[in-house]
C-alpha cells in the first residue's frame, strides 16, 4: 500500500489526496479562556436611538450601549459608517434607508402581535446592540477592535406589509442550501410580516432585465429545501447596474434580496449605490453564499458543512480503493478555488491521508475521483438548513427595519449586519500559519510543508536512526522537489489524469 498527500498548502489547495488513515485528533481548543471577572465597557458610541451607558459582563456577547445621539454624515452616504469608540473600539455600521430618506414613517413590527413571537421575552433587538468581531481578549484590550450591528427584528419597521414588493435573486455557482434560503425568505416575509408580493428573478442578475419574474409564495416553495440547486436559476455575468436598477424601479420593487458570493455582493453594492443616487425607497440585502467559504468576517458560509460531509463519501471511496490494491493511491479533487477550506476540513474530518508518496521505484495503482459538482449540487444537510433559516430571517428583519447595503451572517455565532464593502474587502483562504493548519498537520501526521529544508533535515536524522533497516532511500522520497517548492507532490503531473473518476497505473 502506498501513501498519498493531503492537504496541500493554500495556494495549491484544489485537490485532496487520500489514503491511509490516522487517528489521534488534537483536541486542544482554539479559543482561549475568556476572563471570568466582569469587564466594564463604557463606550462613547452613537447608536440609533439612545440609552445610558451600562457595564456589560459578558464579553462573548458584548452589547454596546449608546451614549450619544444618532447622526449621519449625509455627504458620505456611500462610505461605510465607521465610528470610533472608547478603548480602541470601532463600530462598523450599515446604511439605513433614512440616510437618504430622512422623513420616512415607521410602523410597529407585526411580530408584536404574532402568537409565536410575542411570548418571547425581549424578542426585539436593541438598536444599539453590536457584536464584537474578536471575542478572545486579554484584560488590557477588552472591548477594542471591530464591532458589527447585531441582526434581528426591530420593534419599529419602515415598510407596511401591503407596500412591500420583494424580489430574490441567486447568482454565481451552486451551493447546498440555496433553496432553503429562498424558501425561508418567502415564508418569513409571508408569515411574519404579512407580505404578499414576492418575486423570484430568473437566472441571476441578467434576469432583472432579460426575463420574466417568478411569483413566489409559501405553496410554491414548500418542498424546495429538499432539492439541490436553486429554483430560480443562477448565472455568472450579466450585471448591468443601470438596467437592473431601471428594472427594480419600473417594477416597483422595494426590497431586493441578493444571494451570492463575493462577485455577487460587489454587484449588490453597485445596485445599492445607484438606488441611493436615485433616492429610491428600496433596500438591498445580501445573503452570503459560497461553497468555498471564502467570504471574510462571517464564521462560515452556508452549504459548507454539507460540502464537507459529501466530500467524505468520495474520500471514503478513494480510501477503500487504495487500501484494496497493492500500492494503491487515491486522489480526490475538491472545489475551493483559492480558499482551500473544503479540502482542509474534509481531510481533517476523514483523516484518510498519509503524508508522502514513498518512492519504491515500483508501480502504484492510482484511483482519481472528481466529485466536485456532486458536492455542490446536493440538498443541504440539517445543520445547514437551520443556518439558512437564520440567515434568511436576519436578512428580512434587517430589510423591514430599513437597513440596507448589508450582508447578513454570524460573527462569533451572533448574526450581524455587515457592510457589503467590508464583507468583500478581501477573500478568506486557509491560513497555513494558524492553529487550524497546525492541528490538521498533527492530526494527519504530516510534515510542515512550508519549511521543507527542516523537514529534509529531520528525515535525514530519522534515516540515520532507522539505519537503513527498511531499505528505503529517503533522499528519493520527493524527487524533483527543490527547497523553493512547498508542495511535496513531485509526480503531480502524473497524478492528474485527464478524465475524472479514472484509474491509472503510474510508475514513479
Ligand X SMILES: O=P(O)(O)OC[C@H]1O[C@](O)(CO)[C@@H](O)[C@@H]1O
Contacts of 247-252 spanning 24+ positions with Cβ under 8 A: 247/208, 247/209, 248/167, 248/208, 248/275, 248/280, 248/282, 249/278, 249/280, 249/282, 251/165, 251/167, 251/199, 251/213, 252/165
Q: Shortest CA distance to 154 belongs to which of 396, 391, 366?
A: 396
Q: Which three cell numbers stand for residue 475?
A: 533522499
- Single out the catalytic residue among 292, 294, 305, 370: 292
Q: Closest approach of Cβ 230 to ligand ATP, in Å?
A: 11
- Distance, CA of 92 to CA of 114 (rounded, Å): 32
Q: Which stretch binds ligand ATP (CB under 6 A): 1-9, 15-23, 260-268, 359-367?
A: 260-268
Give me the 327-366 binding string for ligand ATP, x by CB under 6 A, dash otherwise. Answer: ----------------------------------------
**Alpha helices, DSSP H, located in 382-451:** 382-400, 420-423, 435-443
Q: Closest approach of Cβ 7 to ligand ATP, in Å?
A: 20
376 binds, among ligand X, ligand ATP, none (CB under 5 to 8 A by kind): ligand X
Residue 262 makes contact with ligand ATP by CB under 6 A: yes
Select 200 or 261, whichever has its Cβ closest to ligand X: 261
Q: Closest approach of Cβ 231 to ligand ATP, in Å?
A: 17
Give the pairing of strands 107-108 and 130-132: unpaired
Q: How many chain residues interact with ligand X (CB under 6 A)? A: 9
422 binds, among ligand X, ligand ATP, none (CB under 5 to 8 A by kind): none
Which DSSP symbol is given to 505? Answer: E
Contacts of 479-483 spanning 24+ positions with Cβ under 8 A: 479/359, 479/508, 481/452, 483/452, 483/453, 483/456
Among 93, 292, 352, 370, binds ligand ATP (CB under 6 A): 292
Q: Shortest CA distance to 408 belongs to which of 263, 260, 281, 239?
A: 260
Among 143, 336, 340, 491, binds ligand X (CB under 6 A): 336
- Name, in order, each residue with C-beta under 8 angstroms of 337's C-beta and a sequence gap of 6 or more: 14, 292, 294
Residue 376 makes contact with ligand X by CB under 6 A: yes
178 binds, among ligand ATP, ligand X, none (CB under 5 to 8 A by kind): none
Q: Which stretch binds ligand ATP (CB under 6 A): 90-98, 259-267, 276-284, 495-503?
A: 259-267
Q: Which stretch binds ligand ATP (CB under 6 A): 32-40, 215-223, 254-262, 279-287?
A: 254-262
Q: Closest approach of Cβ 392 to ligand ATP, in Å?
A: 18
* 493 bridge partner residues: none
E strand map for 280-432: 283-288, 328-333, 363-369, 406-411, 414-419
Place of cell 445621539: 69
Residue 335 makes contact with ligand X by CB under 6 A: yes
Q: Closest approach of Cβ 30 to ligand X, in Å?
A: 25
Residue 171 makes contact with ligand ATP by CB under 6 A: yes
CA distances 75 to 72, 79, 348, Å, are 9, 9, 49
Residue 272 makes contact with ligand ATP by CB under 6 A: no
Residue 260 makes contact with ligand ATP by CB under 6 A: yes
Residue 239 makes contact with ligand ATP by CB under 6 A: yes
Q: Which three cell numbers stand for residue 434?
A: 494558524
What are the φ and ψ backbone dihedral angles of 256, each rounded to 5 degrees? -120, 115
Residues 248-307 that bind ligand X (CB under 6 A): 261, 290-292
Q: Closest approach of Cβ 343 to ligand X, in Å?
A: 11
Among 100, 130, 199, 205, binds ligand ATP (CB under 6 A): 205
352 binds, among ligand X, ligand ATP, none (CB under 5 to 8 A by kind): none
What are the φ and ψ backbone dihedral angles of 90, each rounded to 5 degrees? -130, 135
CA distances 144 to 41, 51, 136, 297, 423, Å, are 10, 21, 11, 16, 20
Residue 237 makes contact with ligand ATP by CB under 6 A: yes
Q: Closest approach of Cβ 184 to ligand X, in Å?
A: 22
Element (H, E) at 149: strand 145-150
Residue 398 makes contact with ligand ATP by CB under 6 A: no
Q: Closest approach of Cβ 221 to ligand ATP, in Å?
A: 21
26 catalytically annotated: no
Residue 424 makes contact with ligand X by CB under 6 A: no
- Distance, CA of 38 to CA of 56 (rounded, Å): 7
Neighbours of 360 (CB within 10 A): 14
145 binds, among ligand X, ligand ATP, none (CB under 5 to 8 A by kind): none
The rounded Cα 101 to chain-centroid distance in angstroms is 32
Residue 154 makes contact with ligand X by CB under 6 A: no
Q: What is the Cα Rg of the chain in Å?
A: 26
Q: Which stretch binds ligand X (CB under 6 A): 116-124, 332-340, 359-367, 408-416?
A: 332-340
Among 133, 227, 281, 337, binds ligand X (CB under 6 A): 337
488 binds, among ligand ATP, ligand X, none (CB under 5 to 8 A by kind): none
Give the pairing of strands 363-369 and 502-507: antiparallel
- Distance, CA of 206 to CA of 169 (rounded, Å): 10
Residue 371 makes contact with ligand X by CB under 6 A: no
Q: Closest approach of Cβ 373 to ligand X, in Å?
A: 7
Q: Binding residues for ligand X, per CB under 6 A?
A: 173, 261, 290-292, 335-337, 376
Q: Binding residues for ligand ATP, per CB under 6 A?
A: 171-173, 204-205, 235-239, 260-264, 266-267, 270, 290, 292
Catalytic residues: 292
Amino acid at each position: 500500500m502506498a501513501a498519498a498527500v493531503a492537504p496541500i498548502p493554500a495556494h495549491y489547495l484544489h485537490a485532496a489526496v487520500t489514503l491511509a488513515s490516522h487517528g489521534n485528533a488534537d483536541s486542544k481548543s482554539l479559543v482561549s479562556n475568556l476572563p471570568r471577572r466582569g469587564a466594564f465597557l463604557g463606550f462613547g458610541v452613537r447608536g440609533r436611538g439612545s440609552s445610558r451607558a451600562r457595564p456589560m459582563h459578558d464579553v462573548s456577547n458584548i452589547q454596546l450601549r449608546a451614549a450619544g445621539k444618532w447622526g449621519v454624515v449625509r455627504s458620505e452616504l456611500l462610505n461605510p459608517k465607521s465610528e470610533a469608540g472608547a478603548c480602541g473600539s470601532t463600530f462598523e455600521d450599515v446604511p439605513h434607508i433614512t440616510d437618504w430618506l430622512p422623513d420616512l414613517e415607521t410602523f410597529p413590527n407585526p411580530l408584536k402581535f404574532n402568537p409565536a413571537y410575542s411570548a418571547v421575552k425581549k424578542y426585539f433587538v436593541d438598536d444599539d446592540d453590536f457584536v464584537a468581531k474578536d471575542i478572545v481578549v486579554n484584560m488590557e484590550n477588552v472591548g477594542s477592535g471591530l464591532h458589527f450591528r447585531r441582526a434581528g427584528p426591530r420593534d419599529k419597521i419602515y415598510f407596511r406589509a401591503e407596500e412591500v414588493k420583494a424580489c430574490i435573486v441567486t447568482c454565481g455557482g451552486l451551493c447546498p442550501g440555496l433553496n432553503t434560503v429562498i424558501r425561508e425568505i418567502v415564508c418569513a416575509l409571508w408569515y411574519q410580516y404579512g407580505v404578499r408580493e414576492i418575486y423570484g428573478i430568473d437566472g441571476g442578475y441578467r434576469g432583472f432585465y432579460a426575463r420574466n419574474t417568478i411569483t413566489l409564495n409559501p405553496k410554491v416553495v414548500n418542498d424546495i429545501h429538499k432539492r439541490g440547486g436553486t429554483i430560480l436559476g443562477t448565472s455568472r455575468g450579466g450585471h448591468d447596474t443601470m438596467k437592473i436598477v431601471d428594472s427594480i424601479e419600473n417594477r416597483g420593487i422595494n426590497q431586493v434580496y441578493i444571494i451570492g458570493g463575493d462577485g455577487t455582493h460587489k454587484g449588490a453594492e453597485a445596485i445599492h449605490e445607484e438606488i441611493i443616487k436615485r433616492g429610491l425607497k428600496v433596500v438591498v440585502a445580501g445573503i452570503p453564499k459560497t461553497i468555498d467559504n471564502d467570504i471574510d468576517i462571517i464564521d462560515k458560509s452556508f452549504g459548507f458543512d454539507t460540502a464537507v460531509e459529501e466530500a467524505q463519501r468520495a474520500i471514503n471511496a478513494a480510501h477503500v480503493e487504495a487500501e484494496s490494491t497493492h500500492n494503491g493511491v487515491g486522489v480526490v479533487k475538491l472545489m475551493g478555488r483559492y480558499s482551500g477550506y473544503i479540502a482542509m476540513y474534509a481531510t481533517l474530518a476523514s483523516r484518510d491521508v498519509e503524508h508522502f508518496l514513498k518512492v519504491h521505484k515500483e508501480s502504484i495503482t492510482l484511483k482519481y475521483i472528481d466529485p466536485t459538482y456532486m458536492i455542490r449540487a446536493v440538498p443541504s444537510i440539517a445543520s445547514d438548513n437551520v443556518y439558512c433559516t437564520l440567515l434568511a430571517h436576519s436578512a428580512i428583519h434587517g430589510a423591514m427595519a430599513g437597513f440596507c447595503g448589508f450582508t447578513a451572517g454570524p460573527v462569533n455565532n451572533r448574526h450581524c449586519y455587515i457592510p457589503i464593502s467590508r464583507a468583500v474587502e478581501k477573500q478568506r483562504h486557509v491560513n497555513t500559519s494558524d492553529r487550524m493548519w497546525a492541528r490538521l498537520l498533527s492530526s494527519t501526521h504530516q510534515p510542515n510543508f512550508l519549511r521543507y529544508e527542516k523537514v529534509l533535515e529531520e528525515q535525514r536524522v530519522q534515516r540515520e536512526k532507522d539505519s537503513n533497516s527498511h531499505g528505503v532511500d529517503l533522499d528519493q522520497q520527493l524527487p524533483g522537489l527543490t527547497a523553493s517548492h512547498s508542495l511535496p507532490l513531485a509526480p503531480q503531473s502524473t497524478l492528474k489524469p485527464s478524465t475524472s473518476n479514472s484509474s491509472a497505473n503510474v510508475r514513479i
